[in-house]
């Protein structure tokens, strides 16, 4: 089978499409024929060697986490899945999987779920980590309620565009920071206030918000404290918010690191099948264009997600 692998750390130039043997599932794993794989910034950081002390790779290493495909075989102890099921989930090294950028993968059965009936396979692959990340922030950490106000940084990105729609589905007031090229896209998602971060300072415009969700990083989280009312919540996907500022403003903070599991995916499926959230696939690349796919994602201008057609 074909698989996207690396034999050393580096940029997109180290990516190789190799012919390797299909993996064999263990007792608690499933073998999946991959239709589409979703790309995430984590993949790029892993490939670059940024995490090599924490997560040392054994080369050659098959990349990729998010996927959607068809179950071809189940392990002896797997319950709830049968051959022929359409599933989505994660199969990266941290989840005990074999990597999703391959024609076949193995995944732990507690890291997958049956794919949403409302989505095609490309959309399902695009929403795994992004959807669970948005869901955890909005429902678990923030517990967003109707009528509350939330600011979402990076609202046009993979996580951000799901978070905007999820917040609107809960009847919250949603403000978003984006660049001017993404404004029309965000309007269609229903955002109540849209700020071009390149020409306006959001912290001088917004006040008394209940929550902030940061998917951008840099100094954005710390600049967001004045936006929040006392007792508000600040969640960042990228940095640890400043503890001294949190104490000064009376804010609860979270540095969210998302680990996908079946429980979260089943909840996400429930929401997606309600029809309240649309998953935007910005661009689909073929597996032989994997270098271009990563370069495009790493430029950071996509609206929604980049996926790879593995079929």
- Does 273 map to a domain? no
pLDDT digits (tens, 9 = 90+) for 290-306: 999 999 999 988 999 99
pLDDT (0 to 100) of residue 266: 98
Domain match, 214 and 289 both = no
- Does 243 map to a domain? yes
Indicate the number of domains in the chain.
2
CA distance 160 to 166: 10
Range from 228-232, 262-266, 298-302 carrying the lowest mean pLDDT: 298-302
Token look-up 């996400």 returns: 268
Domain match, 286 and 245 both = no
pLDDT (0 to 100) of residue 236: 98
pLDDT (0 to 100) of residue 189: 96
CA distance 171 to 192: 11
Give me the chain's average pLDDT, please: 97
Q: Taking residues 123-147, report their average pLDDT.
A: 98
Task: Specify the CATH number for the domain of residue 134.
Answer: 3.40.50.720
- Does 265 map to a domain? no
Domain match, 181 and 123 both = no
Record the pTM: 0.95
CA distance 214 to 158: 13
Structure tokens at 130: 């992004």
- Does 261 map to a domain? no
pLDDT (0 to 100) of residue 269: 98
Neighbour tally for 299: CB within 10 Å:
8
Q: Taking residues 126-137, report their average pLDDT.
A: 98
Give residue 173's Cα distance to chain centre: 23
CA distance 71 to 125: 14
pLDDT digits (tens, 9 = 90+) for 158-183: 999 999 999 999 999 999 999 999 99
Domain match, 106 and 7 both = yes
- Does 233 map to a domain? yes
pLDDT (0 to 100) of residue 247: 98
Contact 61, 5 (CB under 8 A): yes
Neighbour tally for 16: CB within 10 Å:
13
pLDDT of residue 148 exceeding 90: yes
pLDDT digits (tens, 9 = 90+) for 73-130: 999 999 999 999 999 999 998 899 999 999 999 999 999 999 999 999 999 999 999 9
What is the domain range of residue 112?
A: 2-127+279-309
- Does 49 map to a domain? yes
Q: Can you give the three-state secondary structure of the chain, one letter per residue?
A: CEEEEECCCCCHHHCEEEECCCCCCCCCEEEEEEEEEECCHHHHHHHHCCCCCCCCCCCCEECCCEEEEEEEEECCCCCCCCCCCEEEEECCHHHCCCCCCECEEEEEHHHEEECCCCCCHHHHHHCHHHHHHHHHHHHHHCCCCCCCEEEEECCCCHHHHHHHHHHHHCCCEEEEEECHHHHHHHHHHCCCEEEECCCCCHHHCCCCEEEEEECCCCCHHHHCHHHEEEEEEEEECCCCCCHHHHHHHCCEEEECCCCCCHHHHHHHHHHHHCCCCCCCEEEEEEHHHHHHHHHHHHHCCCCCEEEEECC
Sorting pLDDT into bands at 50, 70 and 90, what band is 233?
Answer: very high
Domain match, 111 and 171 both = no
Percentage of residues in the chain having pLDDT higher than 90:
97
pLDDT (0 to 100) of residue 149: 99
Domain match, 80 and 177 both = no
Sorting pLDDT into bands at 50, 70 and 90, what band is 234?
Answer: very high
């Amino acid at each position: 089978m074909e698989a996207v692998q690396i034999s050393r750390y580096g940029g997109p130039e180290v990516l190789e499409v190799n012919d390797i043997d299909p993996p064999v599932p263990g007792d608690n794993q499933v073998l999946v024929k991959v239709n589409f794989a979703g790309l995430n910034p984590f993949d790029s950081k892993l490939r670059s060697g940024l995490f090599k002390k924490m997560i040392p790779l054994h080369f050659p290493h098959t990349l990729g986490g998010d996927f959607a495909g068809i179950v071809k075989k189940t392990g002896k102890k797997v319950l709830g899945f049968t051959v022929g099921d359409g599933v989505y989930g994660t199969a990266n090294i941290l989840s005990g999987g074999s990597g999703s950028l391959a024609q076949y993968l193995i995944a732990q059965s507690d890291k997958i779920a049956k794919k949403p009936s409302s989505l095609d396979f490309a959309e399902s692959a695009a929403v795994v980590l992004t959807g669970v990340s948005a869901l955890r922030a909005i429902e678990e950490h923030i517990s967003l309620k109707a009528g509350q106000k939330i600011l979402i940084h990076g609202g046009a990105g993979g996580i951000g565009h799901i978070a905007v729609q999820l917040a609107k589905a809960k009847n919250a007031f949603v403000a978003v920071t984006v660049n001017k090229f993404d404004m029309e896209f965000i309007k269609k998602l229903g955002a109540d206030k849209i700020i071009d971060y390149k020409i306006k300072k959001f912290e001088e415009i917004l006040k008394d918000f209940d929550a902030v969700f940061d998917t951008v990083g840099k100094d954005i989280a710390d600049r967001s404290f004045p936006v929040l009312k006392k007792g508000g919540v600040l969640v960042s996907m990228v940095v640890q918010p400043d503890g001294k500022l949190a104490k000064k403003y009376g804010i609860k903070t979270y540095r969210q690191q998302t680990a996908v599991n079946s429980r979260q995916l089943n909840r996400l499926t429930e929401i997606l099948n309600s029809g309240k959230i649309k998953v935007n696939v910005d661009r689909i690349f073929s597996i032989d264009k994997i270098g271009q796919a990563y370069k495009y994602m790493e430029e950071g201008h996509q609206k929604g997600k980049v996926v790879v057609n593995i079929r």
